[in-house]
Amino acid sequence: MTALKTKVYKVECWNPEPHIIAEAAYAIRSGKLVAFPTETVYGLGANGLDDGAVRKIFAAKGRPGDNPLILHFASPEDVEQVAYVNERAKLLMDSFWPGPLTLVLPAKSVVPNSVTAGLGTVAVRMPSHPVAMALIKAAGVPIAAPSANRSGRPSPTEAASVLADIGDDVDIILDGGATDVGLESTVIDVTGPSVVLLRAGGMPVERLEEVIEEVKLVPDEAKKKRSPGTRYRHYAPLIPLLLWENGVLRHSPFVMGKRVGYIGINEPPFPVEEKILFKTPENYAQGLFLAFRTFEKKGVEVIVAEWPNSKGIGLALRDRLSRAAGEEL
Ligand code: TXA
Ligand code: MG
């Protein structure tokens, strides 16, 4: 049940109503929590410079305190307030912002420890969604926002998923419809001599490599130290997920007699009770998390997901699928 205090407002995606944005921005400035759409997934936002407000995010999500948050900005210039911005970071911002790219930079002392998890670095991003942009501008502060799901669950790509997961613990939900990318932003570390991929996401690595030198993919063990978020089982549906790769089911083949829900681009390899087919890898990414939640509601007992190729958004899709399947990457 949703607490009566939670307000859910439908907002015009391309032209959000100013009075709704003003109320949500006031809530942010007052230390409250506002869930809002970005082009990737819905975020659970709070004033990123207010330690007390940020702590409410961790409580609402049930998120471990050692997993740092992304600060969201409405312009690249505003980042200087919280981080030391180097030339390479500037080039990346000029090339890809607003968009699904998060940069990890050395943090300034104004950033609360609850945001950085005491790492000395801060993750920053400028989302392209008009509702997110309007909210950040009106709030006049950087907005700390993880995905608006309960910790460990698939990220929400529509307002109903936010309501289902954390509806009781958020003050306002801005419902701007379904999100475009469907997977979270790409996170890269630009603090060191080489650029390191911490999380594959909505911005393909190939596009980054058009403007900077190679993006290093680090082995998972090292990544776990650098990006605490990758330490936990993530994006997981409540039902087991098996991966279908080139005619072989990875892990257990025991799907006989079970209600199977299939997701992928190609037709399922065997008869299934439920299926959701996507035309392109981009559509697959956009619909993945909602498909998990839909199958849960339909009483599916096993999900079989087609293993995509690693090009473009495929790298992020692979990452989310293997984590959801409980694989160690
Ligand atoms: O698309 C997105 O990035 C969404 C929307 C709402 O912007 N946000 C999102 O936030 O996915 P979250 O908290 O669910 O994931 C942030 C990831 C985590 O893996 C976290 O560990 C990593 O970024 N991260 C945040 N700050 C970091 C830092 N200072 N150093 C290394 N990794 C960091
Ligand atoms: Mg998340």
The predicted pLDDT at position 104 comes to 98
How far is 304 from 98, CA to CA, in rounded Å?
34
pLDDT of 328 > 90? The answer is no
Asked which of 106-110, 232-236, 324-328 is least confident by mean pLDDT, the reply is 232-236
How far is 267 from 289, CA to CA, in rounded Å?
19
How far is 153 from 104, CA to CA, in rounded Å?
24
232: Cβ–Cβ under 8 A, 6 or more apart, which residues?
Answer: 64, 67, 151, 152
Torsion over CA: 21, 56, 230, 238 (sign): negative
pLDDT tens per residue, range 129-186: 999 999 999 999 999 999 999 998 999 999 999 999 999 999 999 999 999 999 999 9
pLDDT tens per residue, range 101-140: 999 999 999 999 999 999 999 999 999 999 999 999 999 9
pLDDT tens per residue, range 260-271: 999 999 999 888
Closest ligand, as measured to the CA of 105: 1
Torsion over CA: 14, 17, 22, 28 (sign): negative
- Is residue 290 very low, low, confident or very high in pLDDT (cuts 50, 70, 90)? very high
pLDDT tens per residue, range 196-225: 999 999 999 999 999 998 888 876 666 666
Closest ligand, as measured to the CA of 123: 1
* C-beta of residue 42 within 8 angstroms of C-beta of residue 36: yes
pLDDT of 326 > 90? The answer is no
Q: Which residues pair with 111 in a beta bridge?
A: none
Identify the residues whose C-beta falls under 6 Å from ligand 1: 38, 40-41, 43, 67-70, 100, 102, 104, 116, 119, 121-123, 125, 127, 145-147, 184-185, 187, 198-199, 226-230
pLDDT tens per residue, range 240-255: 999 988 766 666 656 6
pLDDT of 2 > 50? The answer is no
Q: In this structure, which residue's CA is closest to atom 7 in ligand 1? A: 43
Tell me the CA–centroid distance for residue 270 and ligand 2, in Å. Answer: 33
How far is 242 from 139, CA to CA, in rounded Å?
43
- Which residue, among 116, 104, 316, has the nearest Cα to 196 in the 3D structure? 104
